[in-house]
A and B are shown apart, each in its own frame.
Chain A
Amino acid sequence: MALGDEQIGVAPLDGRVAAGAVALAAVALVAGGALAGLVFQAGSDWSGAFAAFDLYLLRVARFTLFQAVLSTVLSVAPAVVVARAFSRHPKFPGRALMLRLFAVPLALPAIVAALGVLALYGRAGIFSGALAKLAGGDWSGVYGLSGILIAHVFFNLPLATRLFLQALDTVPDDQWRLAAQLGMGARPAFRFLEWPAMRASLPGIAGLVFMLCVTSFTIVLMLGGGPRATTLEVAIYQALRFDFDPARAVALTVMQIVLALVIFIAITRLGGNYTAMANLSVTRRRYAMDGKGEKSFDLLVIAVATLFVAGPMAAVVIAGLGADLGRLAADEAVRCACFTSLALAAPAAFLSAGLSLALVACRRALEYGRRQRRASWLEWASGSGASLILVLPPTVIGAGWFIILLRLGDVYAAAPAMVIAVNALMAIPFAVRVVQPAYDAASARNERLCGALGIAGWNRLRLIDGPVLSRPLGTAFAFAMALSLGDLGVIALFGSDRVQTLPYLLMQRMGSYRTEDAAGIALLLGALCLGLMMISDRLGRNAA
């Protein structure tokens, strides 16, 4: 049995594969169900679907992809440098707080983030005077491609940084010790230790950011300036919300999925197959080997990135402090929305972390067990395919399932369950990126041992993987929860006046002139998210 990798096959009915298949089926059910609902509603009138494809749409599709690719490059490339800088300096005052701050943009509704960005770089922004001097005259704001890119980088740079950092954490300390003993400088250390770890998760992270930017809606419309900068998501939204043309919505959605899929596969194929390091860690210390110049460069990178991310957030905080926070805290609706948000986000995050673990384990089991070089479709699907759920617009999911549930029973009774389920699935791509590097590294170390000892299933999770995975799982949970807290898309369709979450309340107050209240709620939302990150960090540390 222990003759070599090629002979240690995985039994076709490995529990991990089954669990992964179930998780995939859940994703497929939500996505397929939504489309089926709309197809059913469209009935036999498919004229709208064909009318959808015109020259204008071609331009829209082109711009959608163009801004998404550009946003991805601008978010992910600097994130590699920032994550590396953070990882090389594991202890400096404020580091932990900075990293927790990096999770906050996820929970901010797009309109809040956009207003935060404008508060700095807009026509009336803090920097408008300086920017006007730079531009040599009048500062016309950041409307257009530049605004879209700034906002997208604000959202995605911190996300990518945290994910890369998670990947860097899987480099065993012994390798660092060895590198220090060999007197490796910063450059070779990057080449042999840091880059391989990051490279392994680069395609996944880039793919994730890309899809978030493809479906960006409020940001693109608000900062893009007008229909010149518009996305497919707007066309889909219009088809459903304004024209109520399900056939057209389905056709456009399929187009969006296909386009995203093509680019997504291209991105994921970019990554070579880097196997995770299989050594068991003995030491716990990091051995720094930075020169002076190296160190100041790292600190500069961290400072710039933190200022970039913290700037718009500071604007959100300042605006929030201007609200009557005491009255808001006493407001029954706010407290109720707070409770509802947490009560929906917690099970969604729990579900999401669980499903992600199943997918990651399934992918790894298949990868480990396969004999041929090419991955099977199931391995691919459990590894990256589930991420595609992100390109399905929330409007489509909402409307599709609404139609189905209407025929099955009481839509309103099913609403909370629907919101939880969809939020859980939407967070899978984030959670998978956090859990996967850790799981693969652990598996590379323990797979043979487990095979030899016959440890599998629950026991393996409890004894072998659990202790190593508790920290990334905690992070995944917090990520998923932050994301669900900030969700507006699904709740907007299923939420009626009886399910009000914080973002929903925020939009409601904003929609009735109460911008101060809205700013206060945005602050609350950010604080909640930050608190969650602190709790998850603490939990992860204790468990590790």
Chain B
Amino acid sequence: MRGTISLLLAALFAPFSAGAAVAEGSLTIYTYESFTADWGPGPIVQKAFEAECSCNVRFVSVTDGVALLNRLKLEGQSTKADIVLGLDTNLTTDAKATGLFTPHGDLTNEVDVPGGWSDDIFVPYDYGYFAVVYDSEKLKDPPKSMAELVDGDPSEKIAIEDPRTSTPGLGLVLWIRKIYGDKATDAWAKLKGRVLTVTPGWSEAYGLLTKGEAPMVLSYTTSPAYHMIEEKTDRYKAASFAEGHYMQIEVAGMTKKGAENPLAGKFLDFMTGSKFQDAIPETNWMYPAGRTDKPLDPAFGQLVKPAKSLIYSSDEVAKNRKAWVDEWLSVMSR
């Protein structure tokens, strides 16, 4: 019995010790879990880049972008990351403040996100919009604007995420703030009656939609594409809001450690190229931030096209996040 256990343990530890060694010609990328999952972009990207550079790509993944930033703060100068992929613009000011990142230099490919892009450190690889996704079998008359959502029938509920524990939750706080400004508190007070529940993260909230518990959930405009392409159903739709949709841009950056590794710069360039970008829409379920070789699946053509992209600069978010989340908290805990 004891022999079996130590054998099991040896088998378990083995991949760790092997992976921990930094081989020559290898690139270490820190990212989030859904990126490296079997069905995520990770495996495709890894294969394509390894074929190009004849090197070794190593992924280290954590729960999400916030966990990613915290992992970096914990590791500080001793981080093993060459590339950090998966922060969003709400986090980049904090990320720069760690002093761990270095400018990306020249990129041969163009990046293309609504509103344009200029940042000497971070490079975007995809973007998306927050949206209210609803079950069309349960909800015949979805809200057509944030105002309609806020003022609508309180018996038609929405599940939202907690901004203290999740990025979409924070997204809704920023979205409402962008539309209502200083009157955001009043909007929240009205919306509160429609909120079925506040979940710790996106998974819990989305589970409530698919289980039929809530007819609406805060998610992304691209969520219906998953159901259309993978499940062949158009039951779940995103509501198009007249005021526009809040945007999330996902970025990657090179660390100071990565600056010493020539592969890091190459990867950022590769990331904005079509081999990487082709993988994004149907694995990460976001819009590519660069040119793709193959056209998007027709399902993407049926998605909500926001009339306006709403976004705060990274600095504004960093400066106000605490106050705005506290504002949300004070209304919701009443």
Interface residues, chain A, with chain B CB atoms under 8 Å away: 41, 56, 59, 111, 114-115, 118-119, 122-125, 138, 141, 143, 217-218, 221-228, 230, 234, 237-238, 240-244, 333, 340, 343-344, 346-347, 350, 399, 402-403, 406, 410, 412-413, 415-416, 492, 496-499, 507-508, 510-515
Q: Does B267 contact A (CB under 8 A)?
A: no
**Inter-chain contact A124/B213, CB cutoff 8 Å:** yes
**Inter-chain contact B11/A343, CB cutoff 8 Å:** yes
A115-B211, A226-B197, A343-B8 given as contacts; is B165 within 8 A of A244 (CB)? no
Q: Does B196 contact A (CB under 8 A)?
A: yes
Give the chain A neighbours of B213 by CB distance below 8 A.
118, 122-125, 141
Give the chain B neighbours of A224 by CB distance below 8 A.
197
Partner of A227, one of B11, B63, B73, B198: B198
Starting from the known contacts A221-B165, A226-B333, A507-B203, 9 additional A-B residue pairs (CB-CB under 8 Å) come to A56-B333, A218-B200, A221-B199, A222-B200, A237-B165, A242-B165, A347-B8, A513-B227, A515-B210
Give the chain A neighbours of B333 by CB distance below 8 A.
56, 59, 226-228, 230
Q: 28 A-B pairs, CB-CB below 8 angstroms?
A: A111-B207, A114-B204, A115-B207, A118-B208, A141-B213, A221-B165, A222-B200, A225-B198, A226-B197, A240-B70, A344-B12, A347-B8, A406-B78, A412-B16, A415-B16, A492-B63, A496-B60, A497-B36, A497-B60, A498-B16, A508-B33, A511-B34, A511-B201, A511-B202, A512-B34, A513-B206, A513-B230, A515-B210
Give the chain A neighbours of B74 by CB distance below 8 A.
41, 399, 402-403, 406
Q: Does B334 contact A (CB under 8 A)?
A: yes
**Inter-chain contact B16/A497, CB cutoff 8 Å:** no
Give the chain B neighbours of A225 by CB distance below 8 A.
195-198
Alpha-carbon gap, A416 to B19, bound state (A): 14
Partner of B211, one of A118, A340, A412: A118
Number of A-B contacts (CB under 8 A): 159
Alpha-carbon gap, A508 to B201, bound state (A): 12
**Inter-chain contact A234/B164, CB cutoff 8 Å:** yes
Give the chain B neighbours of A492 by CB distance below 8 A.
63
Alpha-carbon gap, A238 to B19, bound state (A): 31
A119-B211, A228-B332, A496-B61 given as contacts; is B78 within 8 A of A241 (CB)? no
Q: Does B329 contact A (CB under 8 A)?
A: yes
Q: Which residue of A has the minimal Cβ distance to B37?
A: A508
Partner of B5, one of A242, A346, A416, A513: A346
Report, nearest first, the 9 A-B pairs whose CB atoms are least far apart: A124-B212, A227-B333, A510-B203, A226-B198, A238-B164, A343-B8, A227-B332, A497-B61, A221-B200
Partner of A416, one of B9, B63, B196, B200: B9
Q: Does B116 contact A (CB under 8 A)?
A: no
**Inter-chain contact A242/B164, CB cutoff 8 Å:** yes
Give the chain B neighbours of A350 by CB distance below 8 A.
5
Q: Which residue of B has the minimal Cβ distance to A340?
A: B12
Q: Does B285 contact A (CB under 8 A)?
A: yes
Alpha-carbon gap, A26 to B24, bound state (A): 40
Give the chain B neighbours of A143 by CB distance below 8 A.
196-197
Q: Does B223 contact A (CB under 8 A)?
A: yes
Q: Which residue of B has the minimal Cβ distance to A410?
A: B20
Q: SS class of chain B's interface: helix, strand, loop or mixed?
A: helix
Give the chain A neighbours of B227 by CB distance below 8 A.
513
Closest Cβ of chain B: how far from A398's Cβ, in Å?
Answer: 10
Q: Which residue of B has the minimal Cβ distance to A505?
A: B37
Closest Cβ of chain A: how far from B173's Cβ, in Å?
Answer: 12
Q: Mark B59-70, 1 if CB is under 8 A from A, else 0.
A: 111110011011
Give the chain A neighbours of B67 by CB distance below 8 A.
241
Q: Mark B158-202, 1 if CB is under 8 A from A, else 0.
A: 000010110000000000000000000000000010011111111
Alpha-carbon gap, A350 to B59, bound state (A): 32
Give the chain B neighbours of A343 by CB distance below 8 A.
8-9, 11-12
Give the chain B neighbours of A222 by CB distance below 8 A.
197, 199-200, 204
Give the chain B neighbours of A241 by CB distance below 8 A.
66-67, 70, 165
Q: Does B49 contact A (CB under 8 A)?
A: no
Alpha-carbon gap, A343 to B201, bound state (A): 29
Q: Does B50 contact A (CB under 8 A)?
A: no
Give the chain A neighbours of B164 by CB distance below 8 A.
234, 237-238, 242
Give the chain A neighbours of B208 by CB distance below 8 A.
115, 118
Give the chain B neighbours of A243 by CB distance below 8 A.
322
Closest Cβ of chain A: how far from B257's Cβ, in Å?
Answer: 15
Alpha-carbon gap, A124 to B63, bound state (A): 30
Alpha-carbon gap, A416 to B285, bound state (A): 32
Q: Does B155 contact A (CB under 8 A)?
A: yes
Q: Does B103 contact A (CB under 8 A)?
A: no
Q: Does B117 contact A (CB under 8 A)?
A: no
- Using a CB-CB cutoff of 8 Å, which residues 19-73 of chain B contact chain A? 19-20, 33-34, 36-40, 59-63, 66-67, 69-70, 73
Give the chain B neighbours of A333 by CB distance below 8 A.
38
Give the chain B neighbours of A511 by CB distance below 8 A.
33-34, 201-203
Give the chain A neighbours of B19 by CB distance below 8 A.
412, 498
Partner of B70, one of A118, A244, A346, A347: A244
Alpha-carbon gap, A498 to B210, bound state (A): 30
**Inter-chain contact B5/A347, CB cutoff 8 Å:** yes
Closest Cβ of chain B: how far from A222's Cβ, in Å?
Answer: 5
Max count, chain A CB within 10 A of own CB: residue among B19, B67, B69, B333: B333
Q: Does B313 contact A (CB under 8 A)?
A: no
Q: Which residue of A has the minimal Cβ distance to B167?
A: A242
Give the chain B neighbours of A230 by CB distance below 8 A.
333
